Structure 1
Amino acid sequence: MFEIATHLALILIAVAFLAGFIDSIAGGGGLLSVPALLLAGVPPVNALATNKLQGMAGAGTALANYVHAGQVTPRDQLPMAAVSLVAGALGSLAASHLSAEILRLIMPPILIAIALFFALKPGLTDQPRPRRMSVPLFTATIVPVIAGYDGFFGPGTGSFFMLAIVLLLGSGVLKATAETKMLNFASNIGSFAVFALQGHMFWALGLGMALAQVAGATLGSRLALRIGARLIKPLLVATSTGMALRLLWQAWG
């Protein structure tokens, strides 16, 4: 049975609060929570599983706030959400069959690549853009790819969904952020179910982090609704750049 020191558990709970805050605004909260779990000594598959429990709580909280504010209508996204749920579950099935050593090798490069991508991304605003892809095509192609990645690994999924919705469906940044939470929540549910059934979840730690995620997501989503892209863009870039630097320091240290 995995045991963790009290001070490490408290640090992880604090990280979960910050991750929930960031994820509700710009996505990418997993860029903080997954590495933190690994640094605390949680085995890779268990880190991914426990991250899904607390991430699901944060995404659900942010979604509820955006729905309440009228930024997203859940019934309009049900087909996308269903695809996202199934793809998330399939991604987690794939991750659970990889050895811990393989996951340890591929996690840092993926995190660095994600961080660099978002640090160098073009500017985005709250203004709608021309739609470049139909909703059915987006649902059949983009959603399963990103949701499958979420189930397999996870960090950066919310940011990927947000950018895809902005660039391909033409939503403004704030609306895309709200729409992202429905898809991210669904993929988290599918992934969570697989990991839980397979016994990879560290329940006590995950539930403690989940409560912190709820608090962080509540604060973050309310700020995003007030400020919009002026808050979302710099926070996404700063978070991604900081994580890239931290991972490079760890690799070279």
Structure 2
Amino acid sequence: MSFFIFIVIGFAGNFIGTLSGGGGLITLPTMLLYGLPVHSAIGANKVANTVSSLTSFLVIFKEKGVTLKEALSVLVTCLVGGAVGGIIASFMSGDSLTLIAIVLLTFAFVTSFLRKGNFVGEKMFKLNTKTGSILFGIGMYDGMFGPGSGTLQMYLYASQKVAYIRAVGLSRVGVFAGCFGSAITYISTGKIVWSLTIALMVGGIIGAQVGIKVARKMNVKYVNPLLRGITLLLIVQIIMSYYK
């Protein structure tokens, strides 16, 4: 029964995460409510997201929705940023990291109403000083704390007039980069409950693939409202965890 429940959790989280980021809104709280220890829950989420994000990216890449040059630029920038963020996090308190998350997500939410980016463009993502700095910062945030990093990436791609399906593919690369190192760490420290993690992974792969199919058919006018809704939920969840 537990195996089936975790498949459903993985499906729901990765379906939402593929469309707009923020899949952790579903997976982490549900696993904790189910009674999984916090480190095991985070580890399961990181391992499952590493695999599901890679498989969903490969589908989009195979269909030429994203170029190898774009993917590598995002991968390397997020990996380096995540490594730096992990180092910084070791010197910061949990409360400080939570406050940073609240500020960043609130800023992204407010500026989403001011920017004209809405995924209607067809531009390729170009790594320059501005976009590289922002992406590096998101990678750092992912390494320091994490929740909402995929959503923050989607806001960046929208501002660069990148088509929605391309943005989905690139955000999956960023999620893979952010989760890979963490997944290795959790595996090496023996925090993984493998039976439930594999169930989460199976559900995640299916959810990500269904998410891609929906993303292809999704009217872009609904994407920004979805992003804003996910962002608000993330902010509320993080504030609640802060005051607990």
Alignment correspondent of 1:217: 208
SS across alignment from 1:135: coil
Offset at residue 249 of structure 1 (A): 7.6
Describe the shift of the 1:44–1:112 C-alpha distance in structure 2 as closer, same or farther (beyond 3 A): farther
1:69-123 Cα shifts (integer Å, max 9, x gaps): 321012433133123223334545666x589xx64x5787677667756665327
Listed as ranges, the matches of 1:178-217 within 5 Å are 178-217=169-208
**1:88–1:191 Cα contact (<8 Å) kept:** no
Listed as ranges, the matches of 1:151-166 within 5 Å are 151-166=143-158
Q: Does 1:176 align with 2:176?
A: no
Alignment correspondent of 1:51: 45
Describe the shift of the 1:244–1:187 C-alpha distance in structure 2 as closer, same or farther (beyond 3 A): closer
Quote the Cα distance in structure 1 between the aligned partners of 2:36 and 2:84: 23
**1:90–1:148 Cα contact (<8 Å) kept:** yes
Describe the shift of the 1:11–1:90 C-alpha distance in structure 2 as closer, same or farther (beyond 3 A): farther
Quote the Cα distance in structure 1 between the aligned partners of 2:231 and 2:33: 18
Quote the Cα distance in structure 2 between the aligned partners of 1:111 and 1:12: 27
Offset at residue 180 of structure 1 (A): 1.8
Alignment correspondent of 1:29: 23
Quote the Cα distance in structure 2 between the aligned partners of 1:137 and 1:45: 36
Q: 1:126 aligns with which of 119, 126, 129?
A: 119
One-letter amino acid of the structure 2 residue matched with residue 48 of structure 1: I
SS across alignment from 2:192: coil
Aligned-residue sequence identity (percent) comes to: 24
Describe the shift of the 1:187–1:243 C-alpha distance in structure 2 as closer, same or farther (beyond 3 A): closer
Q: 1:84 aligns with which of 75, 78, 81?
A: 78
One-letter amino acid of the structure 1 residue matched with residue 214 of structure 2: L
1:50-75 Cα shifts (integer Å, max 9, x gaps): 21111112211221222133210124
One-letter amino acid of the structure 2 residue matched with residue 127 of structure 1: V
Alignment correspondent of 1:147: 139
Quote the Cα distance in structure 2 between the aligned partners of 1:78 and 1:129: 19
Q: Does 1:236 align with 2:230?
A: no
Task: Provide the aligned length of Structure 1 versus Structure 2.
Answer: 241
One-letter amino acid of the structure 1 residue matched with residue 185 of structure 2: V
**1:84–1:147 Cα contact (<8 Å) kept:** yes
